[in-house]
Amino acid sequence: MNGWFGPGSGHSGKIRLEGRLRPKADISLYSIAMTKNREIPWPRIAAEGAVIVVSILMAFAIDTWWQDRTKVEEAHALLVSLRVDFQASQSHVEVWLAGNKRILRASTDFLDQLRNTGIDEELLVPIDWLVATIGAPTYSPTDSTLRTAISSGQIKLIEDVELRTLLAKWSQQLDDTQEDEILIREIVVNQLVPAISKQIRLGLAFDFDTIVSWFAERADLDVDQEFRIRATTILEGALAERTFYENFVVGGLEEIETTQAEILRLLDKEIAKN
């Protein structure tokens, strides 16, 4: 009977068995060799990984430190620049407040005299009354640093909440006061100057430098120089309106002066921290 192990198969059972056992022995030896060659060096890999992680963390730490240091330096520079601006503004507002108080006193005296004079009657008006009537100064503080900080977002570098609140309050006070000053200027240009110009030639009566010196209390006007003005309802009404808003300007400048002084105190405090 022919078969794998029968006669005529061309292969003996012994040869077949040996042929099947040989590959198993070869594979076993190969597997052992490959296992030895593929042993993973876990300690070395762990050490290298730790070095990489530490390097990354150090890089992040250095970058954060540098950013924090840059912010501190930028904040300090901003605070110093703000202090320079507000010191200049404080000196400026003192002069401006004094000048507006002079205007308010003189225009109030002029208004009282007009009210005590009959309509179409003449009265003698000192030159400082007229200067106060047509003077329309506008307070312009040194605020370029603050405006730039707000527009650029650098205002966030100021961490003191009280200081940031005062800066916002000061900006609002300034806007309110300037609105009143604009209203006064419109009253002067559109009502007071036309009403007075019908009676005297203002261009010949006033010298601009003299008026500025009087406003800044650097010089007094000629107290003996007077003008004859006829009382009219238009003049009285316009002057009353102008005096009304002048009170608001004086009050606004007083608030600005107080707020600026407090801002300077907080700026000095913050600068000393850095």
187-236 pLDDT, tens digit each: 999 999 999 988 988 775 566 777 777 777 766 666 667 889 999 999 99
For residues 97 and 19, membership in a common domain is answered with: no
Has this prediction a pTM greater than 0.85? Answer: no
Q: Are 155 and 126 in contact (CB under 8 A)?
A: no
Q: Where does the chain show beta strands of DSSP type E?
A: 122-126, 226-230
Examine residue 214 and state whether it is found in any structural domain, yes or no: yes
For residues 124 and 185, membership in a common domain is answered with: yes
Confidence of residue 55 (pLDDT cuts 50, 70, 90): low
Examine residue 47 and state whether it is found in any structural domain, yes or no: no
Q: Look up the domain containing 19 and give its range.
A: 13-40
For residues 97 and 186, membership in a common domain is answered with: yes
Examine residue 77 and state whether it is found in any structural domain, yes or no: no
Q: What are the distances in angstroms from CA 32 to CA 19, 36, 41, 52?
A: 21, 6, 18, 34
* Cα 164 from Cα 210, distance rounded (Å): 40
Examine residue 180 and state whether it is found in any structural domain, yes or no: yes
For residues 178 and 124, membership in a common domain is answered with: yes
For residues 138 and 19, membership in a common domain is answered with: no
Q: What are the distances in angstroms from CA 97 to CA 64, 128, 177, 257?
A: 47, 17, 12, 9
**What per-residue confidence (pLDDT) applies to 103?**
92
- Residue holding tokens 């597997």? 31
For residues 141 and 206, membership in a common domain is answered with: yes
Examine residue 5 and state whether it is found in any structural domain, yes or no: no
For residues 161 and 262, membership in a common domain is answered with: yes
For residues 241 and 109, membership in a common domain is answered with: yes
Q: Are 178 and 139 in contact (CB under 8 A)?
A: yes
Examine residue 23 and state whether it is found in any structural domain, yes or no: yes
Examine residue 130 and state whether it is found in any structural domain, yes or no: yes
How large is the average pLDDT for residues 126-143? 87
Tokens linked to 274 = 């850095």
For residues 24 and 156, membership in a common domain is answered with: no
* Cα 213 from Cα 211, distance rounded (Å): 5
142-166 pLDDT, tens digit each: 899 999 998 888 888 888 999 999 9
Q: Are 185 and 136 in contact (CB under 8 A)?
A: yes
DSSP for 136-156? --------HHHHHHHHHTGGG
Terminal-residue alpha carbon distance, the chain? 107
Instruction: Please count the structural domains in the chain.
Output: 2
Report phi then psi at 273, rounded to 5. -65, -35
Q: Are 238 and 192 in contact (CB under 8 A)?
A: yes
For residues 26 and 160, membership in a common domain is answered with: no
For residues 95 and 17, membership in a common domain is answered with: no
For residues 21 and 146, membership in a common domain is answered with: no
How large is the average pLDDT for residues 26-50? 60
